[in-house]
Each structure stands twice: as structure tokens, then as C-alpha cells.
Amino acid sequence: MTKADIVNEIARNTGIDKATVLTTLEAFMDSVKESLSNDENVYLRGFGSFIVKKRAQKTARNISKNTTIIIPEHNIPAFKPAKTFTLSVKK
């Protein structure tokens, strides 16, 4: 399902025009991105959590040049589904 499919589905179910739904969806995604970039998790009860995971520094190999490089510690975004969400998908 793409973003356009989501917009069409919400517009069809709610009767709100697609432009308004698209603007709202874009604002939601921007809010989540902004929160995660500020190291704040986003919790949506019954759906899941958008969280920031910290990856530790590690050593990696560049096989083509036969060298080792150090990848510094960094943050990555992740999604952890709620238990009810997980159970509904398992059915």
C-alpha cells in the first residue's frame, strides 16, 4: 500500500477531500520525523511506537579494498507494533 492508496482509503471512508487528507498525512509524518530527530519517541496506543534506537560503534571491512573502517555510534528510527496490532496481523 502506498501513501496515495492510504490517502484514497481515508478519503473514501471519511468523506474528506483527498487534498486535506494528504496535507494531514504529510503533517503527521513530519511530526513523527521531527520528534525522532529530537530523540523523542512517539507512542500511538493500540497501534505502536516509533522509537529511536542507538547503534553502537563497530568495525566493518571493505572487502574490495581489504581495509577496515570504523562506523561511529548513530541513531536509527524503528517501529515497534503494539500487542493488539501484532495479534490482529497474526490472524
pLDDT for res 18? 96
Residue pointed to by grid coordinates 501484532: 86
pLDDT for res 91? 75
pLDDT for res 6? 96
C-alpha to C-alpha distance for 77 and 75, rounded to whole angstroms: 7
Residue pointed to by grid coordinates 573502517: 69
State the 10-residue block means of pLDDT for the chain, 91 residues long: 96 96 97 96 96 95 91 95 93 75
**Residue 36: strand, helix, or coil:** helix
Cβ contacts of 44 within 8 Å, gap of 6 or more:
50, 82
Reported pTM: 0.79
**Residue 40: strand, helix, or coil:** coil
